[in-house]
């Protein structure tokens, strides 16, 4: 997700088709948040003022409208009512088994009627704590709320009806039911779900569908069989789980469920009882196109590639020492001519150690990369899985001018049916995506996925999986909706009127609800235990409750080598801790946001250092806003957006403080001298009105300067550096910018190809831009993909006037010499990082004791940061390591008093560097002066 804003009014997760045809109402409050997002959410200080404030009792006009659900049944005895109460009026909770309620006629045709008594005290303390966004609604006590009557009512159309003393209906609305479902069916938290296999090879298939009228299992002999065998399922009254025990010969069959249930979104929002043929939310294997679930046992040896049972993994690396390389499965090999054409863009390409891509990944591992982070590889809804259903651009894209509109227009023509999408559009959370398999049918995708994991492990890399539990691709009665067609109105987060919240651009899920939270935990455990995934990156983690993430951590920690074949405690967890939308500022629960996750050991992305290095933010009107790594003040590009010389200097010094905090692991309590000469803590440094420092341990910071979101680092520097900057200097600024991540405390995170000057032709949001704009070239002869056309209009047209002169400039296309130099500089920095624990201190205390910025203060040099790390007593043999980041076009001198008279040299890696410039960096013992050439990161070690 593009940090730290909520996404703008477009999806970066799938083709722009409506998520619902009358099924999902766009949230009014969600639109309001998006409208206010740019000024409020550039930093993490999201304002709750952007969200609707609950009215005091009596403050809302409910009206008579059952197409909305404004009442909230939060537990079996309490309904929260938005309209206030009148002692002369009566209130009832009514349910009609077959729907058709019409309170406007005065007498709703209800099968169940439960009287409601106003509680003058309102919700009690526990209820207010559990439902803070509803705390000011009126409370109605449900009379006679015994379990059978409540369970019965929940299977029909629900409404709360208010009548005056004459019996006339004055207000009526539908009812939101997640709270009461979690209360009545709390035992479902421990029930088996999906297909569970016993020791005799017999599956028990179970589905949680507590509001369903009936559920049957439909079995198919193969993926294309027209007529299923229908098997009745039995409902457990305390859990709401429907289940059936099968026979061993069910293995390999395909299945769906026929769920008869009342859906409020059916019949254009009027609600109706529907028969939904739906796949299993707990599917682990699928048919081509994901239209049927596939009955397989993940422990079946037939699904395991050779060597899977005793797979040798690289050693686990703790978060404070981890280096992560973010990669898209298709990008890895789609343009790799050393991979057979039929295997390009697939899992299978990772099983070819001799390919250019795998050789490069192995080389990165040798240099010091520990993990490959794969963009979503679970089943997605945006890419046709059958190659016959896919289309590719028919134009000769190479024939157009580098600043032409034609390339993006041709890509746009097939974007909905081509083979490319980032994949942030979940369809089934726990099955591998079929479009990356050479055979998407059934369990072949499972085996190929595991072969990919084994291939990466064999290259020396552990595997992180990007997971997107915060939303689904579709909801309501839409074709690719799964959860909402099984338990309508439960799995998604609803707004005040019952519409699905869409602040993530897609239908938001609600992990705060018991069974959605459980689905998250169960899915993660399955990937870790059964597919040997070594880490998880949570998309928009701030939309999850903190408790949900702690539950994930606890479940992983319970996996052991002895019992599960996996040491779950070594599994890496990190995510996007952005604070926005209907959950902002803990409006509904304590979120898994940056500040809230401090002390958990779960990492969050550090946007502070990113913005300080790049300059500006992802949504600047003028993309030429400069930062520390792009020449602000010291090499101005002439953009008026940078302000006056005085303003540039002030902003640069502020950025330098942000970067220092980032280099120190973004620690909340880290004390240092800032650029004004004050002693401050990380939390006292300002980041757009929020604290810059927020972590309690360095491993909780994921430090980066680019990712799949926003322009690549090369493209950002193309916008920000003066256009006439020579390519050699562009390479140097690329390395310097990456160096702030590599030499910072915490997890190092780098977007694949940034080490090779990767460009996406200035595309700031390439989620659906096809292979053309997303090409990752392992062969430097193919260039770095700059100047392959104007980036797609749907997210970049407002920047075309800035982009045209840059894309038309052949001097900005990197050649082999530049690409190879950039790759070598990155490798050198990784090897330096791996040579000493100076850059991977594990505790806040160690960072405070050892890390300092000796030249920081009122007189510090603009464009230069010096970081000193005392390494006495640590492995490596040096007494200290000092890093100088000179982002200026001039040679810089930095005097470090603690080095006065010391025996200091360039790091051995840089002493032997192919970069002649860095080899000129020098040290004068008299005064402890370090001299560093322009646009250079130099690392010095003291004996």
Q: Do 466 and 511 form a contact (C-beta atoms < 8 A)?
A: no
Scored b (16 or more CB within 10 A) or e, 92-116 reads bbbbbbebebbbeeeebebebebeb
Report how far residue 159's alpha carbon sits from residue 176's, in angstroms, rounded to the nearest whole number. 9
Q: Which helix (H) or strand (E) holds 218?
A: strand 212-220
Closest CA to 144 of 96, 212, 92: 92
Three-class DSSP category at 463: strand
Q: Which helix (H) or strand (E) holds 449?
A: helix 444-458
Q: How many CB atoms lie within 10 A of CB 61?
A: 10
Report how far residue 283's alpha carbon sits from residue 286's, in angstroms, rounded to the nearest whole number. 7
Instruction: Assess whether 576 carries a catalytic annotation.
Output: yes
Closest CA to 704 of 728, 737, 730, 727: 737
DSSP state of 757: T
Q: How many CB atoms lie within 10 A of CB 747?
A: 32
Alpha helix ranges (H) inside 625-726: 645-663, 713-720
Alpha helix ranges (H) inside 835-902: 844-850
Angle made by CA atoms 303, 306, 309, in degrees to the nearest 5: 75
- From the candidates 370, 425, 576, 657, which is the catalytic residue? 576
**Structural Rg of the chain based on CA atoms:** 29
Instruction: Give the relative orientation of helices 356-367 and 816-834 as an angle to the nearest 10 degrees.
Output: 40
Q: Do 658 and 611 form a contact (C-beta atoms < 8 A)?
A: yes
Q: What are the helix and strand counts (H, E) for the chain?
A: 21, 38
Those residues whose C-beta lies under 8 Å from the C-beta of residue 191, and which sit 6 or more positions away, are 206, 208, 236, 239, 241
Alpha helix ranges (H) inside 664-726: 713-720
DSSP state of 210: T
Report how far residue 228's alpha carbon sits from residue 241's, in angstroms, rounded to the nearest whole number. 22
Three-class DSSP category at 687: strand
DSSP strands (E only) in 522-678: 535-538, 572-575, 603-606, 671-673
Report how far residue 404's alpha carbon sits from residue 788's, in angstroms, rounded to the nearest whole number. 8
- From the candidates 539, 551, 635, 771, which is the catalytic residue? 539
Report how far residue 265's alpha carbon sits from residue 492's, in angstroms, rounded to the nearest whole number. 13
Report how far residue 285's alpha carbon sits from residue 306's, in angstroms, rounded to the nearest whole number. 20
- What is the rounded end-to-end Cα distance, in angstroms, of the chain? 44
Alpha helix ranges (H) inside 625-721: 645-663, 713-720
Q: Which helix (H) or strand (E) holds 363?
A: helix 356-367
Q: Are strands 212-220 and 229-232 parallel, antiparallel or unpaired?
A: antiparallel
Instruction: Assess whether 360 carries a catalytic annotation.
Output: no
Q: Are strands 929-932 and 701-703 parallel, antiparallel or unpaired?
A: unpaired
CB-side neighbour CA atoms (13 Å) of 675: 22
Scored b (16 or more CB within 10 A) or e, 274-299 reads bebebbbbbbbbbbbebebbbbbbbe
- List 690's β-bridge partners, or say none: 687
DSSP strands (E only) in 767-839: none
Q: Do 610 and 574 form a contact (C-beta atoms < 8 A)?
A: no
Q: Cis bond leading into 144, ω under 30°?
A: no
- Residues catalogued as catalytic: 539, 576
């Amino acid at each position: 997700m593009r940090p730290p804003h909520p996404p703008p009014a477009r999806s970066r997760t799938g083709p722009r088709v409506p998520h619902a045809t009358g099924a999902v109402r766009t949230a009014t409050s969600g639109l309001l948040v998006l409208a206010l997002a740019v000024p409020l959410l550039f930093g993490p200080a999201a304002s709750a003022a952007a969200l609707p404030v609950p009215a005091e009792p009596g403050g809302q006009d409910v009206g008579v409208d059952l197409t909305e659900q404004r009442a909230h049944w939060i537990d079996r005895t309490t309904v929260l009512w938005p309209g206030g109460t009148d002692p002369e009026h009566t209130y009832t909770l009514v349910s009609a088994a077959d729907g058709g309620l019409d309170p406007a006629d005065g007498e709703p045709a209800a099968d169940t009627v439960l009287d409601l008594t106003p509680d003058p005290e309102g919700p009690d303390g526990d209820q207010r704590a559990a439902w803070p966004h509803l705390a000011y609604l009126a409370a109605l006590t449900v009379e006679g709320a015994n379990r059978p009557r409540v369970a019965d009512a929940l299977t029909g159309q629900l409404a709360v009806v208010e009548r005056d003393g004459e019996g006339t209906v004055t207000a009526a609305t539908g009812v939101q039911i997640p709270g009461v479902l979690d209360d009545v069916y709390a035992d479902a938290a421990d029930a088996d779900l999906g297909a569970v296999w016993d020791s005799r090879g017999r599956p028990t298939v179970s589905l949680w569908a507590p509001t369903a009228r009936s559920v049957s299992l439909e079995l198919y002999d193969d993926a294309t069989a027209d007529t299923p065998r229908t098997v009745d399922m039995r409902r457990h009254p305390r859990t709401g789980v429907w289940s059936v025990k099968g026979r061993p010969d069910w293995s390999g069959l395909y299945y769906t469920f026929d769920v008869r249930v009342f859906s409020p979104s059916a019949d254009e929002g009027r609600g109706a009882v529907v028969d939904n043929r739906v796949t299993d939310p707990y599917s682990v294997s699928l048919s081509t196109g994901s239209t049927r679930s596939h009955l397989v046992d993940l422990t079946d040896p037939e699904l395991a590639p050779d060597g899977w049972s005793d797979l040798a993994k690289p050693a686990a690396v703790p978060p404070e020492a981890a280096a992560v390389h973010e990669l898209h499965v298709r990008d890895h090999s789609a343009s790799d001519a050393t991979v057979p054409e039929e295997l390009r863009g697939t899992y299978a390409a990772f099983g070819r150690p001799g390919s250019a891509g795998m050789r490069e990944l192995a080389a990165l591992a040798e240099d010091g990369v520990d993990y490959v982070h794969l963009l979503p590889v679970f089943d997605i809804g945006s890419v046709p899985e059958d190659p016959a259903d896919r289309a590719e651009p028919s134009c000769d894209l190479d024939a157009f001018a580098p600043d032409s509109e034609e390339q993006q227009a041709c890509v746009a023509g097939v974007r909905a049916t081509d083979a490319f999408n980032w994949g942030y559009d979940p369809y089934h959370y726990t099955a591998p995506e079929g479009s990356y398999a050479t055979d998407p049918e059934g369990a072949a995708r499972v085996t190929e996925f595991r072969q990919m994991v084994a291939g990466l492990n064999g290259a020396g890399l552990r595997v992180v999986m990007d997971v997107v539990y915060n939303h689904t691709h579709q909801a309501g009665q839409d074709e690719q909706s799964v959860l909402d067609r099984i338990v309508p109105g439960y799995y998604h987060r609803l707004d005040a009127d019952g519409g699905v919240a869409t602040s993530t651009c897609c239908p938001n899920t609600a992990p705060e609800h018991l069974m959605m939270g459980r689905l998250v935990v169960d899915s993660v455990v399955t990937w870790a235990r059964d597919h040997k995934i070594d880490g998880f990156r949570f998309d928009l983690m701030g939309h999850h409750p903190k408790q949900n993430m702690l539950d994930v951590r606890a479940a992983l920690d319970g996996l052991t080598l002895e019992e599960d074949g996996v040491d779950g405690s070594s599994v890496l967890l990190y995510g996007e801790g952005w604070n926005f939308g209907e959950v902002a500022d803990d409006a509904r629960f304590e979120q898994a946001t940056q500040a809230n996750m401090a002390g958990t050991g779960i990492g969050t992305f550090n946007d502070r250092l990113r913005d300080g290095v790049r300059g500006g933010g992802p949504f600047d009107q003028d993309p030429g806003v400069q930062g520390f790594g792009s020449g602000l003040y010291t090499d101005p590009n002439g953009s008026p957006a940078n302000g006056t010389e005085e303003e540039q200097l002030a902003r640069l010094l502020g950025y330098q403080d942000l970067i220092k905090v980032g280099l120190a692991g973004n620690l909340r309590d880290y004390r240092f001298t800032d650029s004004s000469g004050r002693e401050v803590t990380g939390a006292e440094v300002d980041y757009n009105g929020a604290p810059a420092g927020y972590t309690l341990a360095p491993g909780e910071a994921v430090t980066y300067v680019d990712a799949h979101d926003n322009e690549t680092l090369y493209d950002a520097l193309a916008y920000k550096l003066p256009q006439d900057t020579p390519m050699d200097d562009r390479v140097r600024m690329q390395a310097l910018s990456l160096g702030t991540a590599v030499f910072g405390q915490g997890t190092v995170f780098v977007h694949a190809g940034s080490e090779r000057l990767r460009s996406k032709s200035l595309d700031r949001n390439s989620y659906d831009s096809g292979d053309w704009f997303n090409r990752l070239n392992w062969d430097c002869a193919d260039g770095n993909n700059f100047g392959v056309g104007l980036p797609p209009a749907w997210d970049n047209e407002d920047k075309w006037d800035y982009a045209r002169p840059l894309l038309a400039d052949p001097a900005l296309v990197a050649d082999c010499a530049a690409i190879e130099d950039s790759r070598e500089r990155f490798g050198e920095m990784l090897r330096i990082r791996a040579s000493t624990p100076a850059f991977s201190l594990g505790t806040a205390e160690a960072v405070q004791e050892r890390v300092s910025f000796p030249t920081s203060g009122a007189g510090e040099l603009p464009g230069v940061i010096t970081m000193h790390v005392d390494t006495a007593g640590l492995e490596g043999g040096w007494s200290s390591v000092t890093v100088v980041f000179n982002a200026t076009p001039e040679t810089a001198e930095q005097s470090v008093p603690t080095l006065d008279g010391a025996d200091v040299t360039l790091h051995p890696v840089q002493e032997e560097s192919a970069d002649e410039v860095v080899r000129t960096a020098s040290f004068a013992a008299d005064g402890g002066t370090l001299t560093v050439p322009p646009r250079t990161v130099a690392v010095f070690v003291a004996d």
